[in-house]
Structure 1
């Protein structure tokens, strides 16, 4: 037997010990989000992410995904990399490639899952065996809904969770457990009338308050989608080659963001401000070596080149006589895939 209030306080302390920045507790009832999720799917805003529709409302019913789940421990972990080149400096230099700040260090799935496992083991030491399962963006789990309900923060108009003390530059993770703990309370939204994230989105992907049309989102286009990038959206992508942070960069709450204390999230291999031409000349072996242990590796070399080709095309719009960029594109033509060739042709035509 254990005192739930006392155990909850201990678990929060242990979470900090295992390098999380916050832990909150919620239940499994996400029914208030179901109608919005159904509408999002019906509008085809999920694009080619078929798994979103495949699992249906299971994503919003944790007790169906993991039977006997009573409570969910929601954690957050800051990821803004220390000592990285300023995001705006990179975005304003068309010869560089911009990689979303979350992806510059070690793959966050591995970091958070390992820490959640350690937390579960510490709880086991205290109360004995119990049922649990850890999730980090790895299954049909509606993380933002759980985080919002648990009081980690509120869902901003860009659909990310915002925290008054930490902005939005943090990862989320969950530990499903089969015993009762006191619940934390949600927090109120503090976005007010601000629409900065909606206005700044390069491709106007935020179509309503908290609603993102993935088919227009640069993060989706450069990471999730395996298709050709729509030509009408390519100019707006600029030099963003893996993800996009514009909606976070402009958010007033991120003046409170804190850099990650974890060395795992330090930028690797100069990818905080890499030269586009150098990236495009990487062969597959170099790509795999440079991205080992990183989230970037999941898209593979060919899609990486596809993304960089678009950025090089946008570079040539600004510098039509950039000979090294032209030669790099021409050297890759006919060497990798028909898809890449189509993007190379487009890039060269931007001069």
Structure 2
């Protein structure tokens, strides 16, 4: 967090005023880091890419020079304002774990698209900063540019990268949307946050697909969030059972984090309240979606970006894992789908459902 000293005559420092304004705009965490390259962070990124753990996310590699440091993306940057917005859930993310005919959607995707919500607030903070400091230049980012939000958040003191590689906050647990403002202002950096995972390995042990080859290392190629969102082709057959009924993202490694006991649902933005139809959707209804129905249902949702075919593919894997014979009919209807990946998933699901004892 920002703990910069106040200015002369008791006047709050610019860093303190930034933090106060950020809170007014709904950010629960705010810190400042240098925009210069950190050799350790850059080396870790290169190692991760070199091991191929980014899977098919080729943009991670092609824009490596921009990801290495904020100044690699924007040479004029001097400071980074790292921000976090809470989306702590009111319900148990594991509630549907054993309910086979319903699907599980990651908590973050059950409400409004966080890209839009967070960016709007980032822009408001950036406009305020420029008004406060005429001549300052700023750029805002939220998950759509080559910005390493998590290590920057750690450097800025708003949390630490846990063993699951996500940012963890003492006050808000694992439930933070991250954003960043790059600026030409020379701001006083905060102290980096100390790692507070200790000997805990709950996030590593809970992963259904063994996506963590070691603490603090994620192999995206085995991660359910990657497989259901970023991965475009058929999911490898040896990983399909591990998906369970998760059709968009996965909260398991976040949800088991002991630091979540300090997260307050009251701190979450109203925009992130879950849409009722996305809390416990029925697989049979989702399998019946055509392209128009998919677009209508997920208008304003981050889920819309993966498209109907990839979404229905995920639903078919969930159907195959459900053990619910009532889903045979919906799966049969998709066995000859024009999309070969959907058809393959339907045939796999049918084999599972019809061969189950």
User: Quick check: 1:5–1:182 contact (8 Å CA) kept in 2?
Assistant: no
Partner of residue 24, structure 1: 31
Question: What does the per-residue CA deviation read over 1:98-137, in whole Å, with 9 as the maximum and x for residues that have no partner?
Answer: 0110111111111111101100111122222421100001
**SS in structure 2 of the partner of residue 206 of structure 1:** coil
Would you say 1:304 and 2:311 are equivalent positions? yes
Report the alpha carbon displacement of residue 5 of structure 1 after superposing the two structures with TM: 6.2
What is the match of residue 72 of structure 2? 64
- Number of residue-to-residue matches in the alignment: 343
1:30·1:145 contact (CA, 8 Å) conserved in 2? no
| 1:339 to partner: Cα distance | 1.1
Residue of 2, 8, 12 corresponding to 2:19:
12
User: Per-residue deviation at 1:75?
Assistant: 0.3
Distance 1:224 1:138 in 2: 14
Secondary structure of 1:271's aligned partner: helix
- Residues 218-267 of structure 1, C-alpha deviation per residue, up to 9 Å, x if partnerless? 00000001010110000111000000011111111111122253221111
CA shift, 1:32, in A, is 1.3
| Inter-CA distance 40–261: structure 2 relative to 1 (3 Å threshold) | closer
Give distance in 2, aligned partners of 1:242 and 1:30: 33
Q: Indicate conservation of the 8 Å contact 2:173/2:262, yes or no.
A: yes
**Using the alignment, how far apart are the partners of 1:251 and 1:117 within structure 2?**
31
| 8 A Cα contact 2:88 2:172, kept in partner | no
CA distance in 1 between partners of 2:46 and 2:72 (Å): 17
Determine the C-alpha separation between the residues in 1 that align with 2:88 and 2:304: 19
Match of 1:240 in 2: 246
* Matches of 1:76 and 1:261, distance apart in 2: 11
Cα separation, 1, equivalents of 2:260 and 2:150: 18
CA distance in 2, matches of 1:115, 1:191: 30
Deviates most, 341-350 or 325-334: 325-334
CA distance in 2, matches of 1:219, 1:150: 26
CA gap 1:124/1:35 in 2 versus in 1, 3 angstroms: closer
Separation in 1, partners of 2:177, 2:39: 23
C-alpha deviation, 1:269, in angstroms: 4.6
Aligned to 1:342: 344
- Distance in 2 between residues matched to 1:343 and 1:223, nearest whole Å: 16
TM-score w.r.t. the length of structure 1 is 0.94
Deviations 1:32-63 (A, max 9, x none): 11222111111110000000110114202211
Which residue of 219, 224, 232 maps to 1:226? 232
Structure 1: 4+ residue segments shifted above 3 A: 2-5
Equivalences for residues 127-166 of structure 1 within 5 A? 127-166=133-172
Pair 1:250-2:256 in alignment = yes
